[in-house]
Amino acid sequence: MTKNEIADVLGEIGTLLELKGENPFKVRAYQTGARALEAIEEAELARLVAAEELGTIKGFGEALVQKITELHTTGRLEFFEKLRASIEPGLVEMLQIPGLGPKKIRALHDKLGLADLAALTQACTDGRVAALDGFGAKTQEKILAGIKNREAYGRRHLWWDAWEVAEPIVAGLRALPAVKRAEAAGSLRRGMETVGDLDFLVAAADVAAVVEWFVAMPRVKEVTAKGETKASVRFESGLQADLRIVPEEQFGFALHHFTGSKDHNVQLRQRALTRGLSLSEWGLVPAEGEGTAKEKAEKLKGRKAEKTQITTEGELFQALGLHFIPPELREGLGEIEEAEKGELPRLVERADLRGAWHNHTTASDGRNTLIEMTAAAEALGWEYLGIADHSKSSVQAKGLSEERLRRQVEEIRALNAAKKFSTHVFAGVECDILPDGRLDFEEAVLAKLDYVVVSVHSAFTQDEETMTERIIRAIEHPRTTMLGHLTGRLLLRRDGYRVDAGKVIDAAIANEVVIEMNASPWRLDMDWRHWRKAAERGLMCAINPDAHETAGLAHVGAGVNAVRKGWLTREQVLNTRPLKAIQAWLAARG
């Protein structure tokens, strides 16, 4: 296990112990232990474990040393597994409700006997929660809203999480001897920010073997459907997956059909009809005559001579007089019209990226040091890495004071001068936009940096007009380089604050400020639906992972998906430019 994974386990132990009402000192020990662990570099941790010297670190008592060692060497911890099993699952579930920490859950359990969300909902509705010491009507309302949100959001999953499940399944399917082709289709393939369920499509000779493999996958909790050529399962995580197996000659049609979207499919069928053709998941057949599309396709099946020559999506589009439409664009938002006129733009790709700007280190709320982050960027082959830790007003996130920022800049300059890494580090900041639109640092402080990301982290409840003016004022600041996460939304958790995106985009274009695609899988903010129009009008995009640890840098992949859905080309994304061009661009801004 990596140090961050171990820190997660320690943090979770702290939470679970608190939930059990354990001694607060013991709880504290795990929480501070987790923080102390993050401050150690990965290689140093490996050395300390090997030399049995973990105990020399401040904050690591005997119990912690033993647990860290066990996790680091075996990737498991019996103590943790037993602890988790000893707590009612309903209580752990309550932790996901915003505003409910272990202490409050403990109180709800001890004083009202609540052990699951259903009971909690009832108690809120009855007003019993509001009557409890330390709760009140406002808290009760917030809890109820949190439970409702969870129900509304609960059926969908972040694209990133879904992809991590789907990728090995596609690989597993392809490795089966019977399988000729296998793809993940549906919203996952279209790169939607959230995914309802996974859809796998397979062309195979022996269907039974594929179905049996699918229903026996690890972490499958329930087989919800099982037929000759299809199956559906639900994983322990709640995510569901559909499998369909088709004959090889149908694969292109089926892949297109099950990729969707529904709107795109409906429009394409409409187009086929105007050409006297009927399009379905089974094929493309003449529209006239009796019977449904399926019946016609089945009839054709028997007649080998008339068998369609179409085996790929590209051939399908071609048969309908269209250039190829990448899956990300298949949302029924004008892509068919554009594909008729000519070739669609070459969308930006993951391999086009040469760096990114919005990233954190242990100096603020990140979990890896400047050195570790730089090494990770170098390992990705990045030419440059921007460090933008939080500014002083973000107290929760250990925001940097002027003095600490000054020292970080010196550290970054020295790191570049030492040439230890091939990746150049840009010194920036993620500067809070104060409630009135002023920035958190004086101009003289910002002038010492290579660039400035400005973001809203407070006063989320301002009305739309105030919020919009606030952000525009920050955009107009001469030192502002880019705007961070436009709305502050957290997918499946909370909506963003209210802001007039159109006006902010106008201001950004007028002031030559970049807007980021925050690529953190739970943000993907600014939403892809705004990008096509904005970029056409001249807005520049930066795909920023907002990484808080080395593993977070890879999240740019989610950002690439999202901007592809916004039709962006390489030219419209700043971090596709080489280091020299970026340096010149920054220098020209003064």
Q: Which residues bind Zn ion (CB under 5 A)?
A: 430, 546
Minimum distance between the CB of residue 143 and Zn ion, rounded to whole angstroms?
A: 28
Encoded one letter per residue, x for contact with ligand DGT by CB under 6 A and - for no contact, window 158-187 reads ----------------------------xx
Among 72, 244, 257, 479, indicate the residue that binds ligand DGT (CB under 6 A). Answer: 257
- Residue in 535, 484, 536, 539 with CA at minimum distance from that of residue 507: 539
Pairing of strands 541-544, 514-518: parallel
Question: Judged by CB under 6 A, which stretch of 191-199, 285-293, 346-354, 388-396 contacts ligand DGT?
Answer: 191-199
Complex with ligand DGT: residue 262 or 341, whichever CB lies closer? 262
Alpha-carbon span 505 to 539, nearest angstrom:
7
Q: Tell me: does residue 242 bind Ca ion (CB under 5 A).
A: yes
Torsion sign over Cα 361, 362, 368, 372 = positive
* CB 284, CB 273: distance < 8 Å: no
Contact partner at residue 267 from ligand DGT, Ca ion, Zn ion, none, CB < 5 to 8 Å by partner kind: none
- What are phi and psi for residue 291, nearest 5 degrees? 95, 165
Minimum distance between the CB of residue 560 and ligand DGT, rounded to whole angstroms?
A: 19
Alpha-carbon span 289 to 180, nearest angstrom:
34
How many amino acids of this chain bind ligand DGT (CB under 6 A)?
A: 14
- Burial (0-12, 13-18, 19+ Cβ within 10 Å), 16: buried
Among 18, 183, 193, 197, indicate the residue that binds Ca ion (CB under 5 A). Answer: 197
Contact partner at residue 559 from Zn ion, Ca ion, ligand DGT, none, CB < 5 to 8 Å by partner kind: none
Alpha-carbon span 339 to 337, nearest angstrom:
6
Q: Bridge partners of 242?
A: 199, 232
Q: Tell me: does residue 331 bind ligand DGT (CB under 6 A).
A: no
Minimum distance between the CB of residue 520 and Zn ion, rounded to whole angstroms?
A: 8
Could you tell me the strand order of the sheet in which 220-226 lies?
179-184, 198-204, 240-246, 230-235, 220-226
Alpha-carbon span 218 to 7, nearest angstrom:
26
Minimum distance between the CB of residue 184 and ligand DGT, rounded to whole angstroms?
A: 10
Beta strands per DSSP E along 352-395: 355-356, 384-390
- What are phi and psi for residue 222, nearest 5 degrees? -150, 140
Complex with Ca ion: residue 242 or 411, whichever CB lies closer? 242
Minimum distance between the CB of residue 186 and Ca ion, rounded to whole angstroms?
A: 3
Q: Tell me: does residue 260 bind Ca ion (CB under 5 A).
A: no
Complex with ligand DGT: residue 129 or 185, whichever CB lies closer? 185
What Rg do the C-alpha atoms of the chain give, in angstroms?
27
Minimum distance between the CB of residue 328 and ligand DGT, rounded to whole angstroms?
A: 12
* CB 515, CB 503: distance < 8 Å: no
Q: Tell me: does residue 260 bind ligand DGT (CB under 6 A).
A: yes
Alpha-carbon span 322 to 309, nearest angstrom:
17
Contact partner at residue 262 from Zn ion, ligand DGT, Ca ion, none, CB < 5 to 8 Å by partner kind: ligand DGT
Q: Tell me: does residue 186 bind Ca ion (CB under 5 A).
A: yes
Among 32, 69, 139, 261, indicate the residue that binds ligand DGT (CB under 6 A). Answer: 261
Q: Tell me: does residue 327 bind Ca ion (CB under 5 A).
A: no
- What are phi and psi for residue 82, nearest 5 degrees? -70, -40
Binding site for Ca ion (CB under 5 A): 186-187, 197, 199, 242
Binding site for ligand DGT (CB under 6 A): 186-187, 192, 195-197, 199, 257-258, 260-262, 265-266
